[in-house]
Structure 1
Amino acid sequence: MSNGLVIAAVDGSEHSLRALEWARLAALRHDTGLLVAHVLPETSQLYAGRRSALHDPNEPEEYADPVGDHVRGLLEVAPELPREVRYEALEGSVPAALRVISGEGSPLMLVMGSRGRGGFAALLLGSNSRAVATTASCPVVVVPHADRDASADAAGASAGASAGRVVLGLHAAETPEDVLAFAFAEAAARGTTVQVVSAYALPPGPTMVIDSPFAVIPPEALADGGDGVPAEREMLRAQTERLAPLRARYPDVPVEQAAVPGDPAGRLVEASRSAALVVVGRHHPRVRSLLIGSVAHAVLQHAHGPVAVVPALRDDLEL
């Protein structure tokens, strides 16, 4: 993967400051730089436009930027900083400005909070977070607010802690290679396991319990006949085949595989309770649209920890 910058999108809210801390630690783990970006408030944008239009030398060149000042102050007292820290004030709407910056210089990821200053407090995912996750040109990590982050509470750690697995939602025939590569690179940087979760449908039956905990099966267990459900074993074999190139590229990353009955989004949401990060693809790779897939949308809405939504970054995918 590219060793580009980690972008932290901030607006001064507590949600975005949690995302900033997550991004700081991510940049340290990946040994790359950190770009802190925020969209100027409308008053500042109007002032900048007025000064430019009037060409008035009596007007001060600088305008108030309380968000930028606050973030600089926080990072000045951080215990450790990435090798490079840059700040950028953006103009325009939040989704449009972040979409533009996500396409510049091949950033490693863009990190933002699940909600900003605006909107209804009851919403789990703000409109700006949803819009950026849907349209950004790079992977977008959405960090939940504190009362929704079960993994941080369980570990007693801050946002961005390395505890827990990286959970990868995989459809063996459809998930783009970029999604797999992102999950494995993140697990390698954290020194943790990739848990691969795929879901399959079963006809309803009197003894089927969808909400039961799923079993994790090591690849070597697939060699024998086993007693697994045929659909489960076939899915595990498809997983193994699809994961082979990533295993070769990341030989030190442990892999757990799980094929489970039921709704894939529900299974990933449940796995997010103890995961360091859940990684999903943005949409069906053969549908080039700005619509986020139903699984990614549901996981973003309900996950209990950070979620990475990864677009197909190349057009020459062979599935």
Structure 2
Amino acid sequence: MSNAPVVAAVDGSEHSLQSLEWARTAALRHGTGLVVAHVLPDSVQLYAARRSSLADASQPDAYADPVGDRIRALLAQAPALPDEVRYESLEGSVPDALRMVGEGARMLVMGSRGHSGFATLLLGSNSHAVAATAACPVVVVPHAARTAGAASEPPAGRVVLGLHAAETPDDVLDFAFAEAAAWGTTVQVVSAYAIPPAPTTIMDSPFQVIPPEGLADEGDAVPAEREMLRSQTERLGPFRARWPDVSVEQAAVPGDPAERLVTASRSAALVVVGRHHPRRKVGSLTIGSVAHAVLHHAHGPVAVVPTLPDAS
């Protein structure tokens, strides 16, 4: 994985060009290659298939690829490039083609919407499909309308890790720490716990009780928070040892985990979440509820890290 390339999915839209820039800098940070992947439009794929089947020598050998021309021109003006940059034109459906090119990649970076998306959509169908099924981590870079409320200089932000200490697979933590090391920034670990109901909500419900861990004591934190921080510390131990130069901030907060991560995304360089609940069957096309909500509403880039078969 150390030499695996960063893959940028482009279609010529402004959203995809923004994700290309994110992928270029990611490849430079990790000292790896960059693969720029463009899935050819259906019309071009049909033309290529027709020419091949008819063997019509009167037709030109090559077809116009304005997206490829634009990408090469943009990269030629970039301030710095990875040592290896490769452009690939792909055939097939967008999700299938990107899943294939992403196999073995360090990460696959794509925009939240492409040319075919409606302006009102928060996340395009292709981005969702790839994030839900790719074999590598998928970083989705949101469009400008969603980053309007984010920090003006996101690279200065933390890498925010959504953690369920007992259930988040190691691959998710590994990715977050590796990214923080590459950014030269902090990992902020966020875990959320349910808020117990207020006494007024149980007056007419005699069989509903507030558990002891939900009650405050003499300390600065409720027992539920202290226990969650203790679980975090225990779980993070091996990763702190593996990444000693990465500073860690821990937060145990009440409320909905997705809401907390979306709020943290305003000032984060990257939010990292696991794709599925680990008890869900690997290969499921349904993305986890937290990952789904964060992908749709985060104000900055989100990395969705898959659960590998040996972690399920």
Gap change, CA 1:125 and 1:188, over 3 Å in 2: same
**Structure 2 matches for 1:277-292, cutoff 5 A?**
277-288=270-281, 289-292=284-287
Q: CA deviation at 1:43?
A: 1.3
Contact 1:162–1:190 at 8 Å: present in 2 too?
A: yes
- Specify the alignment match of 2:215 in structure 1: none
Q: CA deviation at 1:240?
A: 0.6
- Specify the alignment match of 1:266 in structure 2: 259
Partner secondary structure for residue 74 of structure 1? helix
Q: Deviations over 1:84-105 (max 9, x none)?
A: 10010011111111112122xx
- Specify the alignment match of 1:154 in structure 2: 151
- Specify the alignment match of 2:46 in structure 1: 46
- For 2:190 and 2:306, the matched residues in 1 are separated by 18
Partner secondary structure for residue 257 of structure 1? strand
**Structure 2 matches for 1:168-179, cutoff 5 A?**
168-179=161-172
Give the TM-score normalised by structure 2. Answer: 0.91
- Specify the alignment match of 2:128 in structure 1: 130
**Structure 2 matches for 1:231-270, cutoff 5 A?**
231-270=224-263
- Specify the alignment match of 1:96 in structure 2: 96
Gap change, CA 1:25 and 1:206, over 3 Å in 2: farther
Select which of 290, 297, 309 maps to 1:302.
297
Partner secondary structure for residue 192 of structure 2? strand
| Matched residue type, 1:112 | M
- For 2:119 and 2:310, the matched residues in 1 are separated by 41
Name structure 2 gaps, 5 residues minimum: 201-217
Moved more, 58-67 or 127-136: 58-67
**Structure 2 matches for 1:3-42, cutoff 5 A?**
3-42=3-42
Give the percent of matched residue pairs that are identical in Structure 1 and Structure 2.
Answer: 76
- Specify the alignment match of 2:214 in structure 1: none
Name structure 1 gaps, 5 residues minimum: 208-224
Contact 1:8–1:37 at 8 Å: present in 2 too?
A: yes
Q: CA deviation at 1:302?
A: 0.5
Give the TM-score normalised by structure 1. Answer: 0.89
Please state if 1:110 is matched with 2:103. no
Partner secondary structure for residue 80 of structure 1? coil
- For 2:108 and 2:94, the matched residues in 1 are separated by 13
Q: RMSD in angstroms over aligned alpha carbons?
A: 1.7
| Matched residue type, 2:250 | Q
Q: CA deviation at 1:185?
A: 0.2
| Matched residue type, 1:132 | V
Partner secondary structure for residue 89 of structure 1? strand
Partner secondary structure for residue 305 of structure 1? coil
Please state if 1:190 is matched with 2:183. yes
- For 1:119 and 1:200, the matched residues in 2 are separated by 35
- Specify the alignment match of 1:317 in structure 2: 311
| Matched residue type, 1:59 | Q
Q: CA deviation at 1:226?
A: 4.3
Q: CA deviation at 1:2?
A: 3.4
Q: Deviations over 1:220-259 (max 9, x none)?
A: xxxxx94311111111111111111110010000000000
Partner secondary structure for residue 36 of structure 1? strand
Select which of 137, 140, 146 maps to 2:138.
140
Contact 1:166–1:193 at 8 Å: present in 2 too?
A: yes
Structure number with larger C-alpha Rg:
2
Contact 1:150–1:273 at 8 Å: present in 2 too?
A: no
| Matched residue type, 1:292 | I
- Specify the alignment match of 1:199 in structure 2: 192
- For 2:2 and 2:164, the matched residues in 1 are separated by 24
